């Protein structure tokens, strides 16, 4: 390996400022955590970086981001606060820098080694917001020589600001979602309040009373679906959603999803054609999450298709990738709105009367597919229809990370 050019103190602090400016624009918590560990390793010229988060109920630390290969495999690792070096750093809110051969010193506790690396040097920094410990940022193995005081100073400055960014992204998400949720709840709550008021009238005709009960049921279901969508989105956006990968055949899952949506399609006179694949569609994924994607895309296809229209579903696989498409022959989407479809709360102008949901469905779909290292592609022609195609890797390691 070629030796890197040694930066001056001024150059290193400029590098720190540039990195912090880049982090300030990231509002997705999961992406932010990934950038933080990557930036920490670059700032200290280290081989690996890890971010530990405090699991308060269990008084333990968990790895929520790292530059290690297969990070998700290490997220279930429990690091006790009371007997680990990282726990000492968290509890005392003081950095620890150890260079070989002093690594045998156990005065701070056991050094966590999730991949049995040959640890030559370690620099561990506390993460805290308003004097409240939230985690530990750690880098391992300086490429050239030992960690120095300057490395510690820079990483402490970086960690202090990184902790604020993590807290801010979480607060931003919460405040934005709460504001939107309150706005969306107003209409069904007003309807329910009016319905209760009408039901109290003794002169209300029985047939009207029945229609009001039906409206109450509809609005109750709408409220339930709305809150579920908001919670799903919040968990996915913040990285708190848990995925359980299993190996299964996708085709029976598509059939199962069709059964759920069949009544809705029949009510609109829509015919759904499902093309059987030539071979099993075996993949490793979170089955329930993919069902959520399929149901959402089917619901959209039925909602935006023309009455008595047709929906075609196809699926195929290669040794590396599996794809399935849901195609309707409905109104189509103007090209200028295609890129906005997956933005949260986005609704196509002049089509709001068809959008009875939260505007989060496609956003959630994209998050789930992206978490599987896949992608969603959209093609559409106005007045001819729209096709959503989901592409997924056949093998996927999955992920499961604690709350942030």
**What DSSP state is assigned to residue 309?**
-
Whole-angstrom Cα distance, residue 200 to residue 223? 22
Which of 80, 81, 42, 78 has its CA nearest to residue 63? Answer: 78
Tens digits of residue pLDDT in 343-383: 777 777 666 445 555 678 898 999 899 889 999 999 999 98
| Domain end residue (candidates: 151, 169, 187) | 169
Does the pLDDT of residue 243 top 70, yes or no? yes
Which of 273, 329, 301 has its CA nearest to residue 390? Answer: 301
Residues 34 and 158 occupy one common structural domain: yes
| Domain end residue (candidates: 138, 169, 200) | 169
Residues 116 and 254 occupy one common structural domain: no
E strands along 14-104, which residues?
46-55, 60-66, 79-80, 96-99
Query: In terms of pLDDT, which residue wins out, 7 or 267?
Result: 267
Residues in the chain: 404
Place of tokens 């300057």: 150
Phi and psi angles of residue 346, each rounded to the nearest 5 degrees, phi first: -75, 135
**Which H or E run contains 303?**
helix 287-304
231 within a domain of the structure (yes/no): no
Percent of the chain clearing pLDDT 70 (strictly above): 83
The structural domain count of the chain equals 2
Predicted local distance difference test score (pLDDT) of residue 282: 95
Residue 53 sits in a domain whose CATH number is: 3.30.450.40
Predicted local distance difference test score (pLDDT) of residue 171: 62
The pTM of the full predicted model, rounded to 2 decimals, is 0.56
345 within a domain of the structure (yes/no): yes
| Domain end residue (candidates: 169, 184, 214) | 169
**Which H or E run contains 377?**
strand 375-381
Whole-angstrom Cα distance, residue 90 to residue 83? 11
Tens digits of residue pLDDT in 281-329: 999 999 999 999 999 999 999 988 999 999 999 999 999 999 999 999 9
What mean pLDDT is reported for the chain?
83
304 within a domain of the structure (yes/no): yes
140 within a domain of the structure (yes/no): yes
Tens digits of residue pLDDT in 189-238: 777 777 777 888 888 788 888 888 887 877 777 677 677 777 777 777 66
Tens digits of residue pLDDT in 45-92: 999 999 998 887 678 888 888 888 766 666 667 788 888 899 999 999
Residues 160 and 269 occupy one common structural domain: no
Residue 282 sits in a domain whose CATH number is: 3.30.565.10
Average pLDDT for 166-174: 69
**CA dihedral (337, 339, 341, 344) positive or negative:** negative
Place of tokens 């390691």: 397
Residues 264 and 117 occupy one common structural domain: no
- For residue 297, the enclosing domain spans 242-404
- Highest mean pLDDT among 109-113, 116-120, 258-262 belongs to 258-262
């Amino acid at each position: 390996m070629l030796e890197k050019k040694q930066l001056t103190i001024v150059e290193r602090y400029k590098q720190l400022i540039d990195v912090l400016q880049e982090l300030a624009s990231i509002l997705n918590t999961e992406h932010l955590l990934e950038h933080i560990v990557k930036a920490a390793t670059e700032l200290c010229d280290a081989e690996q970086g890890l971010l530990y988060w405090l699991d308060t109920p269990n008084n333990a630390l968990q790895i929520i981001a790292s530059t290690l290969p297969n990070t998700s495999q290490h997220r279930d690792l429990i690091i006790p606060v009371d007997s680990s070096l990282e726990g000492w750093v968290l509890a005392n809110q003081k950095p620890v820098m150890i260079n070989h051969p002093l690594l045998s010193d156990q005065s701070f506790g056991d050094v966590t080694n999730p991949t049995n690396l040959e640890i030559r040097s370690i620099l561990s920094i506390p993460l805290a917001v308003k004097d409240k410990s939230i985690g530990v940022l750690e880098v391992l193995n300086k490429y050239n020589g030992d960690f120095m005081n300057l490395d510690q100073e820079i990483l402490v400055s970086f960690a202090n600001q990184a902790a604020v960014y993590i807290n801010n992204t979480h607060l931003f998400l919460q405040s934005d979602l709460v504001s939107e949720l309150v706005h969306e709840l107003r209409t069904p709550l007003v309807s329910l309040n009016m319905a209760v008021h009408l039901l109290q009238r003794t002169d209300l005709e029985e047939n009207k009373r029945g229609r009001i009960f039906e409206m109450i049921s509809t609005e109750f279901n709408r409220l339930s679906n709305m809150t579920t969508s908001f919670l799903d989105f919040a968990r996915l956006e913040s990285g708190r959603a848990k995925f359980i990968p299993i190996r299964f055949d996708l085709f029976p899952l598509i059939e199962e999803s069709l059964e759920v949506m069949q009544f809705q399609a029949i009510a609109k006179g829509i015919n759904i054609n499902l093309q059987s694949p030539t071979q099993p569609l075996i993949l490793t994924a979170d089955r329930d999450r993919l069902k959520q994607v399929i149901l959402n895309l089917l619901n959209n296809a039925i909602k935006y298709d023309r009455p008595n229209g047709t929906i075609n579903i196809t699926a195929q696989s290669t040794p590396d990738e599996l794809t399935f498409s849901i195609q309707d022959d409905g109104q189509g989407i103007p090209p200028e709105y295609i890129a906005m479809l997956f933005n949260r709360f986005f609704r196509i102008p002049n089509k709001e009367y068809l959008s009875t949901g939260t505007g989060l469905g496609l956003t959630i779909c994209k998050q789930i597919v992206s978490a599987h290292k896949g992608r969603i592609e959209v093609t559409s022609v106005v007045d001819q229809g729209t096709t959503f195609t989901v592409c997924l890797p056949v093998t996927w390691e999955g992920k499961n990370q604690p709350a942030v």
